[in-house]
Amino acid sequence: MAEDNLRSIEDICEQTWEPLYRFIYYKVQNREEAEDITQDTYVRSLSWPGFDRIRAGRYMAFFKTVAMNIIRDRWRKKKTRGTSIDIDSIAQTKVLSDDITDIANRHLLIRRSLEKLNEDQRKVIELRIIEGYSVSETAGLMGIKAGNVRVLQYRALKNLVIIMNEEENHHE
Amino acid sequence: MNNVKKLSDFIDSLNDEKKPTVKADSEELNRMFDAVRQIKSLKSPAMPDEDFPHRIIQNLTEKNRHTAKSGKRTWAGGFAGIAAVLAVALLANFAGPIKNSYVVYAVEQAYNDVKAYHGTLEVVFSNEAGETQTQSVLDVWADKSGNYYIEVLEGSYKGLKTVSDGKNVWQSPTDENAMNVLPVFSETNEFIFELGNEVDELQNAESARIIGDDDIAGRPAYVMEVTPKGGLPYKLWVDKGTKIPLQKQSSMYKAIQYTTRYTVINFAESIPEELLTVGPDTGFKEVDPDGYKNTVKNPDKPEDITADIAENNKADSDTAKYTPEITVDVDMDIEKAEQIAADSGSSPWKLDPVYVAQVFISLQISPEGIVGEYPIHYNEFVIAESNGTSAKIEVISEKTHIKAVYLEKLIRQDDTGIWTVTGYDISP
């Protein structure tokens, strides 16, 4: 019986891990945390006594909701061991639907906001965050000191937060 | 650490695909962290290595074993503790519907991605003694619009090609003689083990559960026991990789069992157009899927088209039409077994009343069995009356004293129901 159960779990994981991982990665933007939260999501979801009442077609939406709650909980309570996620309440609430349109709109807003930065600020964000260069590599590419890269990226992001807020308010 | 350094370290962590250890101690910094994540989301995600899904399973399995050995249920925090809880929950909660519903879901999802497929389908008969015989081997192309192309590679109708556009069916016989004796419901006309039908049947089944593992044509497969609503359970082999059904086996009933399997299956965007071409010069002729009379129709010669099926299907309340002079005893157990066999793809001629009448008359003439050609030709039978569930077939031959054969669909009264001889007339 246990073997059958594990085989079923294997099926569920194989079928859902990739979209679930991508969803989580989109939120956390690093592989280590995305892998960890993906595993945690399966453990919490599959061990929840009410899981067998979830229709198979809703598994993915349920996993996404659990993952989102884990992410929120981790970010909120970084110093606390364990979590206080109430999966019963998750199951009763509307689960997340695929939000491809939301993501596309969000990307558009980010790109539009980046365009409003001055050239140096936009460049430092492109090199450091989008291209993933280190501070020293970015300094070399921009012909400035490493310390200036850190200050420049800080100011760039500070401005960007303001611009993104404005963009959001403008389009609401 | 000042916020400038914290922000830079945070960016470094994400660039290294590591979980950031630095904490935002202000709302402003928190928003900046969030902005960094959003900017990074413009890039494709860094995917885990190929082993990741296996690691998930392995972790779950190992924790399960560990807990079973120690007999402890501890909360250590983090993954290990949760897994310990899971191990208990696995046994408590996964014995039932989750397993079943998921497999059905996986098959459904997998089939959703299929546009068309091409495979080699084997139909195998076996008896209680374990003896097996390959009834036919078919080359099959099918898509989700109902189009299919089937060619008999081995079996009674070797070389026969059947094409359907979802509504009409055309066949290309090997030669004209073959066409003349070809029953309307050949083993290729009724498309058995069509994946879409199998998925539907699985979805609507009363229960479906994994009962073991097997290997079909070198592909690892789950063996499922499926109990349809109102039918005998059957086994279905589902490819572990593709989650597509590969083999179906009926229950052994009255010492008969049928197995249909795809020994080869590949998925494609569509069926090659040339295979679905049934124009005037291709040798294909339209066949009547309802199976009455001589239903081979030439699309180029409308005058060749025989009696309209709709006419045959008209409700006919005159039961006298279907009352034979001599009644034939029917063993309903045998008929049920025959219906099951037909459902599995065996004896498809039982779906053609003319063919059933021909076999009946032939056995009256040669009770020891039919060797070679039938003593009375298929074309010497004419449907005199039919309402879809009862039929009277007239025999135009001097080789028998029987003048008409009466048939009924006793088990199931739809297109898939087999015909059974219930009586006959000897008076002219």
CATH of the domain at B216: 2.50.20.30
Q: Are residues B152 and B240 in the same domain?
A: yes
User: Does residue B419 sit in helix, strand or coil?
Assistant: coil
Chain B closest-CA separation from residue A121 CA (Å): 13
Q: What rounded mean pLDDT belongs to chain A?
A: 82
Q: Are residues B254 and B143 in the same domain?
A: yes
- Rg of chain B over Cα atoms, rounded to whole angstroms, equals 30
Q: Are residues B19 and B55 in the same domain?
A: no
Residue of A nearest to B68 (CA): A2
Q: What is the pLDDT of residue A110?
A: 93
Using an 8 Å CB-CB cutoff, list chain A residues near B77: 81-82
Q: Are residues B357 and B411 in the same domain?
A: yes
Query: Residue written as tokens 């076996």?
Result: B126
Residue of B nearest to A1 (CA): B95
**Any idea which of B85-94, B377-386, B404-413 has the lowest mean pLDDT?**
B85-94
Q: Print the domain residue range for B8.
A: 3-40
Instruction: Report pTM.
Output: 0.42
Picking from B256, B276, B296, the residue at the C-terminal end of a domain is B276
Among B22, B27, B41, B213, the strongest candidate for a mutation testing the A interface, having the largest count of A CBs within 10 A, is B41
Whether B302 is in a domain gets the answer no
Give pLDDT tens digits for B260-270. Answer: 899 989 999 99
* Cα–Cα distance, B374 to B354 (Å, whole number): 13
- Beta-carbon separation of A154 and B7 below 8 A: yes
A77-102 mean pLDDT = 52
Neighbours of A155 (CB within 10 A): 16
Residue of B nearest to A133 (CA): B15
In DSSP terms, B133 is beta-bridged to B125
- Tell me the two tokens of residue B95: 């014995």
Q: What rounded mean pLDDT belongs to chain B?
A: 75
Chain B closest-CA separation from residue A59 CA (Å): 9
Chain B closest-CA separation from residue A21 CA (Å): 8
Chain B closest-CA separation from residue A27 CA (Å): 7
* Cα–Cα distance, B83 to B63 (Å, whole number): 6
Q: Are residues B240 and B358 in the same domain?
A: no
Total number of domains constituting chain B: 4
**Among A55, A78, A106, whose Cβ lies nearest the Cβ of B101?**
A55
**What's the pLDDT band for A172 if we cut at 50, 70, 90?**
low
Give pLDDT tens digits for A97-121. Answer: 446 677 888 888 999 999 999 999 9
The answer to whether A30 and B14 have CB atoms below 8 angstroms apart is yes
ipTM for the whole complex: 0.85
- Beta-carbon separation of B7 and A153 below 8 A: yes
Residue of A nearest to B82 (CA): A43
- Beta-carbon separation of A4 and B99 below 8 A: yes
- Beta-carbon separation of B42 and A130 below 8 A: yes
Q: Are residues B190 and B226 in the same domain?
A: yes
- Beta-carbon separation of B93 and A49 below 8 A: yes
- Beta-carbon separation of A4 and B210 below 8 A: yes
Using an 8 Å CB-CB cutoff, list chain B residues near A114: 39
In DSSP terms, B162 is beta-bridged to B150, B171
Q: Residue B377 contacts by C-beta under 8 Å, 6 or more apart in sequence?
A: B180, B181, B397
- Beta-carbon separation of A29 and B40 below 8 A: yes
Whether B101 is in a domain gets the answer no
User: Does residue B352 sit in helix, strand or coil?
Assistant: coil
A17-37 mean pLDDT = 93
- Beta-carbon separation of B82 and A125 below 8 A: no
- C-alpha distances out from residue B100 to A7, B177, B394, Å: 12, 50, 51
**Among B4, B75, B97, whose Cβ lies nearest the Cβ of A151?**
B4
Q: Residue B376 contacts by C-beta under 8 Å, 6 or more apart in sequence?
A: B358, B361, B362, B365, B395, B397, B399, B400
**Among A32, A47, A114, whose Cβ lies nearest the Cβ of B17?**
A32
> Which one of 1.10.10.10, 1.10.287.80, 1.10.150.120, 3.30.230.10 gives the CATH number of domain A100-171?
1.10.10.10
Higher pLDDT, B360 or B369: B360
The answer to whether B303 and B403 have CB atoms below 8 angstroms apart is no
The answer to whether B213 and B223 have CB atoms below 8 angstroms apart is yes
- Rg of chain A over Cα atoms, rounded to whole angstroms, equals 20
**What's the pLDDT band for A67 if we cut at 50, 70, 90?**
very high
- Beta-carbon separation of B23 and A78 below 8 A: yes
Q: What is the pLDDT of residue B69?
A: 47
* Cα–Cα distance, B116 to B140 (Å, whole number): 10
Whether B26 is in a domain gets the answer yes
Whether B382 is in a domain gets the answer yes
Q: Are residues B241 and B180 in the same domain?
A: yes
Q: What is the pLDDT of residue A153?
A: 96
In DSSP terms, B253 is beta-bridged to B256
Using an 8 Å CB-CB cutoff, list chain A residues near B4: 150-151, 154
**Among A18, A44, A51, whose Cβ lies nearest the Cβ of B98?**
A51
- Beta-carbon separation of B19 and A32 below 8 A: yes
Higher pLDDT, B369 or A170: A170
Higher pLDDT, A135 or B332: A135
- Beta-carbon separation of B48 and A21 below 8 A: yes
Whether B186 is in a domain gets the answer yes
- Beta-carbon separation of A8 and B103 below 8 A: yes
Chain A closest-CA separation from residue B245 CA (Å): 15
Whether B390 is in a domain gets the answer yes
- Beta-carbon separation of B82 and A40 below 8 A: yes
**What's the pLDDT band for B61 if we cut at 50, 70, 90?**
low
Q: Where are the domains of chain A?
A: 2-92, 100-171
The answer to whether A24 and B37 have CB atoms below 8 angstroms apart is no
